[in-house]
Structure 1
């Protein structure tokens, strides 16, 4: 039971939506859906070392999985093949945080904007929560982007109501 990640990536190379769909299968649930024992992962040919994804078979087999697993497989099948559209309002709402970040990163990649949200950074790292000093100026808070500065002048002023009775 191995994950033929390199072989699947080589097969998908050059087609952004297919690359994104393959990355979902490879990265979701520790590669559980990209193993060579999955019925939708098949060798490209008898003499080829590459593997391909049979999107129709994946779509058919997805029905036996749990709700979250079925959703991620439906989304991957939809990116991999135009024959399997999904209802995003249904399929996105049931994903946990890690899978949702993976889907967002894959969507950015499929649209040709992989730098918008990188799968490697979005899933692997989460920034630590930062406590904000309320006395700190809005424009001086860490993490503010230059384009956010235009909103500083419209930010509501802090309210000081004085002592309470």
Structure 2
């Protein structure tokens, strides 16, 4: 039986529910609200890959990947990167595996697109996601993107199709 966990596109039928999704209050300054992310996705459709995380029929989170972006375009040797742009798990749904599922799903999508690594940036701090990403295998690069720490994960080969 297929898993009830899945990613679904944001549509006119679910955008209001998506925008109502809230993280814990102590995380408010660490990740932009979903509405902000959707505005960025609308403004950069070739770069943004926004999806809702659904368990059965219940919306539990939002994830958005970025595709082929240069973090430091002013530097001639800067390379194109793809990775995790935003991850918002509803406050009451955290610590249930939804974040891990979202990151693994983004990694699968990037592998499908031929990528060999996933990049993420995050605000460091007491309530930040650093430990979460570290447990998933991300390692800091020593770079900053604005005020955010940059970390990367080397992607293994895609799993064979059943």
Coarse TM-score class (shorter-chain normalised): 0.3 to 0.5
What TM-score, normalized to structure 1?
0.32
TM (norm. structure 2) is 0.32
